[in-house]
C-alpha cells in the first residue's frame, strides 16, 4: 500500500540553466517537516516541479528523473502560476489567513484558475492510486482537492493538513467562495491544524457558513464522519541535534566563528514575507542599538532572508523597504571593524544553516502571524549542550508549545529591544534550563 503526499510543490525543484535540467532540494516548512516522516507505507509525492515546460520531451525527461524518487509532477503553465499560485493562493487566501486583509485581492480569473489546478491535481491522483492507498493533502493551495477526490472515490482514505493559520469567522466570511472552500475541505476524513485556535476557527466557520453542527471534534456528512484535530508539526530532532558532529557542519561552525569573532550573534531566518515581521524586527534592533551604546561593536544581527515571490508587487515593495532599513542601520552604526546587520538574501544549505544555529547566541523569531514556525524548533534542537536563547513571537503557532522562550508581541519594538537585552544578560544556567 502507498501513501501519496500531495502538495503544491515537490520536495525538489527543477531548473534549466544551459538547457540542462538541474534538480535541487526545495526550501519551506512543508518539505522540512515531512522529510522526517517515517511510515511503513511506500511514500510517494505529487506536486509541481517548480518549472514551467511546454515540450513533451522535456516533460518526459523530468517525469523519468522524478519517478526514480517516487515523485510525480503536475505540470502547470505560467498562467496557472500567475493566477492560481501568485493569484488566488498567495494574493487572496494567504493574506486573509494571516490577518493582512488590506493585502487581499479578488479577481474572477484567480478563482477560476484555482479550481482548474485543483482539478489537475485530482486527475493525476486518480491516475495513480489503487485500492488501499491513502492520500494526504497539504495546505491552502489545494483546499478544493479533498471534495473533488471524494466525488470520484467515495471510499478513499483522505487526510488534509493546514499549515498556515485558519482565520476567525469574521475574517473568513469575507471570502466570496467561503462555502465552496469549506465543502472542499470536508471531503477529507481527517482535517488537522497546528493549534486549537485554528481548529476552533474552522469549526466556527463550518457551523456558521454551512449550518452543520459539530459534536466536539466530529461532524456527520451523509454516511461519513469527518474528524478535526490540532496536531502541531514537529521536525526531525535527531537530524538537527546531531548536525554539529558532521565534519562539513564543523567546518562551517569554525568559519562562522572566525567571521563573527567575539561578537554576540543574533540570528533570524525567514522567507521574504510581510507576515514574518522582518521590518518590525529591524526597528527593534535599531532601537536596541540606539539605547544601548555599550553593546556597539559587540553584537551582530545576521539576517537570512530566502527569496520568495519577490516579483509580486507587495513582496517587491517589502524587499525594497528591508534593504533601505538595513542600509540605514548599518550606515548609522557601523565602524571599520563592525557591521551591525549582516544580510544574506539567499537560501542556505542544511549544513550551513545548522552551523549558524549552533553558533548563534540568540534566535530572533518575530512573525506578525505564523502557522507554526519550524525555525524556532530547529534552533533549539541544534544547540546540543550549547547555550542559546530563543526570542519568539506570541503570534507564532510554536509559541503554544515553546513556553520557555522569551515571548514578545512583535508589534512592539520596545519589547523586542528589551528581549534582546534580557537574552544577552541571561546566565548560562538559565539558558540551558529554558
3-state secondary structure the chain: CEEEEEEEECCEEEECHHHCCEEEECCCHHHHHHCCCCCCCEEEEEEECCCCCCCHHHHHHHHHHHHCCCEEECCCCHHHHHHHHHHHHHHHHHHHHCCCHHHCCCCHHHHHHHHHHHHHHHHHHHHHCCCCCEEEEECHHHCCHHHHHHHHCCCCEEEEECCCCCCCHHHHCCCCCHHHHHHHHCCCCEEEECCHHHHHHHHHHHHHHCCCCCECCEEEECCEEEEEEECCCCCCHHHHHCHHHCHHHHHHHHHHHHHHCCCEEEEEEEECCHHHCHHHHHHHHHHHHHHCHHHCCCEEEEEEEECCCCCCHHHHHHHHHHHHHHHHHHHHHCECCECCEEEECCCCCHHHHHHHHHHCCEEEECCCCECCCHHHHHHHHHCCCCCCEEEEECCEHHHHCCCCCEEECCCCHHHHHHHHHHHHHCCHHHHHHC
Q: Which of 213, 230, 247 is the last residue of a domain?
A: 230
Cα 236 from chain centroid (whole Å): 15
Asked if 166 and 22 sit in the same domain, the reply is yes
Asked if 245 and 390 sit in the same domain, the reply is yes
pLDDT of residue 308: 84
Asked if 203 and 267 sit in the same domain, the reply is no
Asked if 153 and 278 sit in the same domain, the reply is no
Domain assignment of residue 15, given as a range: 2-230
Query: How is residue 332 written as a grid cell?
Result: 548609522
C-alpha to C-alpha distance for 282 and 330, rounded to whole angstroms: 11
By DSSP bridging, strand 224-230 and strand 218-221 are antiparallel
C-alpha to C-alpha distance for 23 and 20, rounded to whole angstroms: 10
Q: Which of 230, 261, 282 is the last residue of a domain?
A: 230
pLDDT of residue 23: 82
Query: How is residue 57 written as a grid cell?
Result: 520531451
pLDDT of residue 20: 81
Asked if 342 and 212 sit in the same domain, the reply is no
Asked if 155 and 220 sit in the same domain, the reply is yes
Could you give the number of structural domains in the chain? 2
Q: Which of 230, 262, 279 is the last residue of a domain?
A: 230
pLDDT of residue 334: 96
Asked if 181 and 63 sit in the same domain, the reply is yes
Q: For the segment 178-224, what is each residue's pLDDT rounded down to a tens digit?
A: 999 999 999 999 999 999 999 999 999 999 999 999 999 999 999 99
C-alpha to C-alpha distance for 412 and 239, rounded to whole angstroms: 34
> Is the Cβ–Cβ distance between 374 and 388 less than 8 Å?
no
Asked if 37 and 111 sit in the same domain, the reply is yes
Asked if 175 and 35 sit in the same domain, the reply is yes
pLDDT of residue 31: 65
Asked if 260 and 181 sit in the same domain, the reply is no
Q: For the segment 250-281, what is each residue's pLDDT rounded down to a tens digit?
A: 999 999 999 888 899 999 999 999 999 999 99
pLDDT of residue 7: 96
Whether this model's pTM surpasses 0.75: yes
Asked if 300 and 212 sit in the same domain, the reply is no
Query: How is residue 391 written as a grid cell?
Result: 526570542
Asked if 163 and 140 sit in the same domain, the reply is yes
CATH number at residue 53: 3.40.50.2000
Residues of the chain with pLDDT under 70: 27-36, 311
Amino acid at each position: 500500500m502507498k501513501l501519496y503526499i500531495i502538495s503544491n510543490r515537490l520536495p525538489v525543484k527543477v531548473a534549466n540553466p544551459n538547457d540542462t535540467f538541474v534538480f535541487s532540494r526545495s526550501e519551506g516548512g512543508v518539505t522540512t517537516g515531512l522529510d522526517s516522516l517515517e511510515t511503513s507505507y511506500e511514500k510517494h509525492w505529487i506536486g509541481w516541479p517548480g518549472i514551467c515546460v511546454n515540450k513533451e520531451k522535456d516533460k518526459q525527461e523530468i517525469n523519468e528523473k522524478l519517478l526514480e524518487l517516487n515523485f510525480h509532477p503536475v505540470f502547470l503553465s505560467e498562467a496557472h502560476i500567475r493566477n492560481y499560485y501568485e493569484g488566488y493562493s498567495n494574493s487572496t487566501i494567504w493574506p486573509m489567513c494571516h490577518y493582512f486583509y488590506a493585502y487581499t485581492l479578488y479577481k474572477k480569473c484567480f478563482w477560476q484558475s484555482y479550481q482548474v489546478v485543483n482539478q489537475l491535481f485530482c486527475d493525476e491522483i486518480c491516475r495513480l492510486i489503487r485500492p488501499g492507498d491513502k492520500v494526504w493533502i497539504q495546505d491552502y493551495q489545494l483546499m478544493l482537492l479533498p471534495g473533488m477526490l471524494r466525488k470520484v472515490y467515495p471510499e478513499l482514505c483522505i487526510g488534509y493538513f493546514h499549515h498556515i493559520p485558519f482565520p476567525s469567522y469574521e475574517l473568513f466570511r469575507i471570502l466570496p467562495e467561503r462555502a465552496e472552500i469549506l465543502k472542499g475541505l470536508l471531503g477529507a476524513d481527517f482535517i488537522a491544524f497546528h493549534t486549537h485556535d485554528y481548529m476552533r476557527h474552522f469549526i466556527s466557520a463550518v457551523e456558521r457558513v454551512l449550518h452543520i453542527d459539530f459534536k466536539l471534534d466530529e461532524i456527520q456528512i451523509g454516511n461519513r464522519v469527518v474528524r478535526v484535530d490540532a496536531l502541531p508539526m514537529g521536525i526531525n530532532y535527531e537530524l538537527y541535534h546531531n548536525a554539529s558532529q558532521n565534519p562539513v557542519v564543523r567546518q562551517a561552525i569554525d568559519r562562522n566563528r572566525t567571521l563573527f569573532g567575539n561578537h554576540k550573534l543574533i540570528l533570524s531566518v525567514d522567507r521574504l514575507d510581510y507576515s514574518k515581521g522582518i521590518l518590525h524586527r529591524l526597528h527593534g534592533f535599531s532601537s536596541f542599538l540606539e539605547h544601548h551604546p555599550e553593546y556597539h561593536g559587540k553584537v551582530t544581527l545576521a539576517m537570512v532572508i530566502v527569496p520568495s515571490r519577490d516579483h509580486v508587487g507587495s513582496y517587491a515593495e517589502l524587499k525594497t523597504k528591508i534593504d533601505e532599513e538595513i542600509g540605514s542601520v548599518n550606515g548609522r552604526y557601523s565602524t571599520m571593524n563592525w557591521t551591525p546587520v549582516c544580510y544574506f538574501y539567499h537560501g542556505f544549505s542544511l549544513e550551513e544553516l545548522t552551523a549558524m544555529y549552533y553558533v548563534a547566541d540568540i534566535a530572533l523569531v518575530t512573525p506578525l502571524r505564523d502557522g507554526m514556525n519550524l525555525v524556532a524548533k530547529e534552533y533549539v534542537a541544534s544547540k546540543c549542550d550549547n547555550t542559546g536563547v530563543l526570542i519568539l513571537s506570541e503570534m507564532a503557532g510554536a509559541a503554544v508549545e515553546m513556553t520557555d522562550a522569551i515571548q514578545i508581541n512583535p508589534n512592539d519594538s520596545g519589547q523586542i529591544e528589551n528581549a534582546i537585552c534580557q537574552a544577552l544578560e541571561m546566565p548560562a544556567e538559565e539558558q540551558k534550563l529554558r
